[in-house]
């Protein structure tokens, strides 16, 4: 791995801010979603747009898993099977879907009304069927991640909730942030969180099993840091939604942790996806 970052090419075409990206495993195609109401398909070899999918609303988030592409929009989650081209529309959310995550064969969606909805794929009906509704947050849930047998959710109510993946019950509420929790990342036994309070917190489990803050990094002049990382050092590693990269000293966690912190500034006007490699 080199010590520098190289820009491959800007992918231009979206008319409004880019809010989600997905690079399916083993694919040479990249998907980007935007507030312009479209998902664009890009050829990673040529950098050319290979297709445009109207989704019927502003894209709030996007993930891929196996053959599936999931796109969060207002009041729904759009689902495409990238192999068969089958399309589904999962209803149930109220307002924008801000984050999506997958764990224990469940699809989780973080919604504007503070709920986290879950669906399970049924091989019998060949559809995703409602499985649960997780309630507890007082305001919109804007970040979501699955790590181990836990689901972690960050909200505009300034809290992080920890949910048992088996029972889907809330087992802990973390209240150390003083503003919206914009991003979450699981790494080994650590949970990392970013907030509009301009801090990045590292959480670790105590002997009782509860999470406590072990490190806080304060970043001035940053509105909304977002955590991303890649385990594939020999391949395409990161896709930037904003042209600003913070070099962050994570040595306090040891050399095994490689985290890139992409900082989303307050003025969301970037409509170009940039491909970079290390």
Q: What is the pLDDT of residues 45-90, one digit of tens each?
A: 888 999 999 999 999 999 999 999 999 999 999 999 998 989 999 9
Average pLDDT, the chain: 83
Q: How confident is the model at residue 8 (pLDDT cuts 50, 70, 90)?
A: confident
Q: What is the pTM of this model?
A: 0.83
Q: Count the Cβ atoms, other than its own, within 10 Å of residue 261.
A: 23
Q: How confident is the model at residue 242 (pLDDT cuts 50, 70, 90)?
A: very low
> Residue 270: its pLDDT value, please?
54
> Bigger pLDDT: 115 or 248?
115
Contact between 193 and 183 (Cβ < 8 Å)? yes
> Bigger pLDDT: 76 or 220?
76
Listed range (124-128, 150-154, 173-177) with the worst mean pLDDT: 124-128
Contact between 212 and 256 (Cβ < 8 Å)? no
Measured CA to CA, the distance from residue 181 to residue 104 in angstroms comes to: 24
Beta strands at 49-54 and 61-65: parallel, antiparallel or unpaired: unpaired
- Domain range annotation of the chain: 6-277
Mean pLDDT, residues 14-28 taken together: 91
Contact between 52 and 39 (Cβ < 8 Å)? yes
- Which tokens belong to 186? 């699981």
> Residue 3: its pLDDT value, please?
65
Phi and psi at residue 252, to the nearest 5°: -65, -15
Name the residue among 48, 78, 71, 169 with its Cα closest to residue 116: 169
> Residue 2: its pLDDT value, please?
57
Return the CATH class of domain 6-277: mainly beta
Measured CA to CA, the distance from residue 226 to residue 85 in angstroms comes to: 31
> Residue 26: its pLDDT value, please?
84
Contact between 154 and 175 (Cβ < 8 Å)? no
């Amino acid at each position: 791995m080199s010590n520098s970052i190289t820009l491959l090419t800007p992918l231009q075409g979206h008319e409004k801010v880019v809010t989600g990206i997905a690079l399916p495993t083993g694919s040479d195609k990249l998907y980007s979603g935007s507030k312009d109401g479209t998902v664009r398909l890009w050829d990673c070899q040529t950098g050319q747009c290979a297709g445009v999918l109207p989704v019927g609303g502003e894209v709030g988030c996007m993930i891929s898993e196996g053959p599936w592409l999931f796109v969060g929009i207002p009041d729904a989650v759009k689902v495409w099977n990238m192999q068969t081209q089958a399309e589904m529309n999962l209803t149930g959310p109220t307002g924008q879907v801000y984050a999506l995550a997958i764990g224990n064969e469940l699809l989780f969606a973080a919604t504007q009304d503070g709920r986290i909805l879950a669906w399970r794929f049924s091989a019998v009906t060949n559809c995703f069927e409602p499985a649960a509704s997780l309630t507890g947050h007082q305001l919109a849930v804007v970040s979501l991640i699955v790590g181990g047998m836990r689901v972690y959710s960050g909200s505009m109510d300034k809290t992080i909730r920890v949910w048992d993946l088996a029972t889907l019950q809330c087992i802990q509420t973390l209240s150390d942030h003083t503003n919206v929790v914009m991003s979450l990342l699981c790494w080994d036994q650590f949970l990392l969180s970013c907030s509009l309070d301009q801090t990045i917190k590292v959480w670790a489990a105590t002997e009782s099993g509860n999470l406590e803050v072990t490190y806080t990094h304060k970043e001035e002049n940053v509105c909304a840091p977002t955590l991303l990382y890649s385990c594939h050092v020999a391949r395409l590693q990161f896709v930037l939604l904003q042209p600003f990269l913070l070099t962050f000293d994570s040595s306090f966690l040891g050399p095994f942790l490689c985290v890139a912190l992409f900082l989303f500034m307050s003025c969301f006007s970037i409509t170009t996806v940039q491909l970079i490699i290390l």
